[in-house]
Amino acid sequence: MAVKLELYKVFKEVAEAGNITAAAQALFISQSAVSQSVKQLEEELHTRLFSRNSRGVILTGEGKMLYEYVRSAMGLLETGEEKLAQTRELQMGQLTIGASDTVTSQFLLPYLDGFHRRYPGIHIQIVSGRSHKVLGLLQSGKVDIAFASTPAETDTLDIFPCFATHSVFVAGADYPCHWEHAYTLDEIAGFPLILLEKKASSRLYLEKYFLQNGLKLNPEIELGARSLLVDLARIGFGVAGVTEEFVKRELAEGTLRKLKTTFDIPPRSVDMCALRDVPQTAAARQFAGYVKTGLPQTIGGMQDL
């Protein structure tokens, strides 16, 4: 096919120049090479493509029909090459990111803003989902980059830690508890608890920690949205298990207060993940580098690991 493509290039040039000599000069090859290429293509297609006249050559009826298709095909190839070059140079392209709404709003937003301003031709799509969902989308090739809590399976992933998260328990400022008392695991488990739904990675991590210490959590309220969990804790419905980094504003304003505890739950990491040994698009590589470069300038008190 590669050989025939070269023949078509010669055919197109001869058709447009109407002269073997002019076509040879434009292609930087000899006249005999041009003539031989035309002859070879005619033999392969079993069709006469040109007839001679006093000024050179003209297309036959069959040659005119073929020329329209060849011109269109060559034009598409040239356009494809131009688009590919634009993609490499980040003038256009698409970037698909998988992340939870919380990670997007609390961590990714400034990176997305800066990247979009710098590369406005890149179309950015955000696919929302918890860690297990976006990791699944990454494995199936539906997102280019996923931001997720430390994945269990890492053999097929390139992982870059972005920030640490800490699980804490909070309540509204007027909640009837002893703010100076350090609560034990048993005492925390005895509160009316407000937790995220079971499929949330932070909920699973919290439950695992308590189970390792012989306790099972039985929340009174389970929610799918972090914002609603915070709202219910704020108005006194119970004690909420939350990620401290994602309630910095509420803690600073005093609408939520953190309960003291006799224990510290080990921190987790939110990581930037990509498929290992799978070439990334230019946009994905650039965005990943943009995040890595910007990590020292963390937001909201988040710590760079």
The tens digit of pLDDT for each residue in 36-72 reads 999 999 999 999 999 988 788 999 999 999 998 998 8
Domain 2-88 has CATH 1.10.10.410: no
Domain 93-163+268-294 has what CATH class? alpha beta
Residue 121: per-residue pLDDT: 87
The tens digit of pLDDT for each residue in 254-284 reads 999 999 999 999 999 999 999 988 888 888 9
The tokens of 230 are what?
């915070």
Domain 167-258, CATH among 3.20.20.70, 3.90.1150.10, 3.40.190.10, 3.20.20.140: 3.40.190.10
Pick the more confident residue, 265 or 2. Answer: 265
The mean pLDDT value for 229-249 works out to 94
Pick the more confident residue, 171 or 93. Answer: 171
Domain boundaries, the chain: 2-88, 93-163+268-294, 167-258
- pLDDT greater than 90 at residue 76: no
Q: Model pTM? A: 0.65
Q: Looking at beta carbons, which pairs linking 62-70 to residues 24 or more positions away fall under 8 Å? A: 63/15, 66/11, 67/11, 67/12, 67/15, 70/8, 70/11, 70/12, 70/15
Q: Do domains 2-88 and 93-163+268-294 have the same CATH topology?
A: no
Measured distance CA(69)–CA(11) in Å, rounded: 12
